[in-house]
């Protein structure tokens, strides 16, 4: 079964860091760009950027530079989102997603990882 499997919810204090993982199952992680999408509770979807899974080159959307880092470990078919210097406004569900069908839309999504930032 084709899936993207994300790591579990995280509770972090302001200023801490978090690393969210996204593991491809039933398909190859490579050959498809891996996107990250943020959803603040009760709000809409926001594209954070993507990582080229062939060469590891990341592209960050405006507003997601500096504290956000995309990375890969192709040996375990996994992509990662690391956020440093966490702020309360980083509280959100973070999704990984790819476009295996090359449709332009995101046809495969992880289940989402809730990152809660609270003192």
Partner 1 sequence: DIQMTQSPSSLSASVGDSVTITCRASQAIPNSVAWYQQKPGTAPKLLLYGATRLQSGVPSRFSGSGSGTEYTLTISSLQPEDFATFYCQQHYSSPPTFGQGTKVEIK
Binding site for partner 1 (CB under 8 A): 44-47, 49, 59, 61-62, 95, 97, 101, 103-107, 109-112
Q: How far is the CB of 88 from partner 1 (least distance, A)?
A: 22
The CB-of-41 to partner 1 minimum distance in angstroms stands at 11
List, in order, residues 6 or more apart from 104 with CB less than 8 Å away. Answer: none
Two structure tokens written together for 45 = 């979807």
Task: Give the nearer residue to partner 1 in terms of CB position, either 9 or 17.
Answer: 9
Could you write out the three-class secondary structure of 6-61?
Answer: ECCCEEECCCCCEEEEEEEECCCCCCCCEEEEEECCCCCCEEEEEECCCCCCEEEC
C-beta of 106: minimal distance to partner 1 in Å?
Answer: 6
Indicate the residue among 67 and 102 with the shorter CB distance to partner 1.
102
Q: How far is the CB of 73 from partner 1 (least distance, A)?
A: 22
Backbone angles phi and psi of 25, in degrees to 5? -130, 130
Q: Vertex 77, ends 113 and 91: CA angle to 5°?
A: 15
Nearer to partner 1, 74 or 116 (CB): 116
17 or 67: whose CB is closer to partner 1?
Answer: 67
């Amino acid at each position: 079964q084709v899936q993207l499997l994300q790591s579990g919810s995280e509770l972090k204090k302001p200023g801490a860091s978090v690393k969210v993982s996204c593991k491809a199952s039933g398909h190859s992680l490579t050959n498809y760009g891996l996107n990250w999408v943020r959803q603040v509770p009760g709000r809409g979807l926001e594209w954070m950027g993507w990582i080229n899974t062939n060469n590891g080159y990341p592209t960050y959307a405006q507003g997601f530079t500096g504290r956000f880092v995309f990375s890969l470990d192709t040996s375990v078919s996994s992509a990662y989102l690391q956020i440093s210097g966490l702020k309360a406004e980083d509280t959100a569900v973070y999704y990984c997603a790819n476009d295996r069908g090359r449709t332009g839309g995101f046809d495969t999504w992880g289940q989402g990882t809730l990152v809660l930032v609270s003192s």
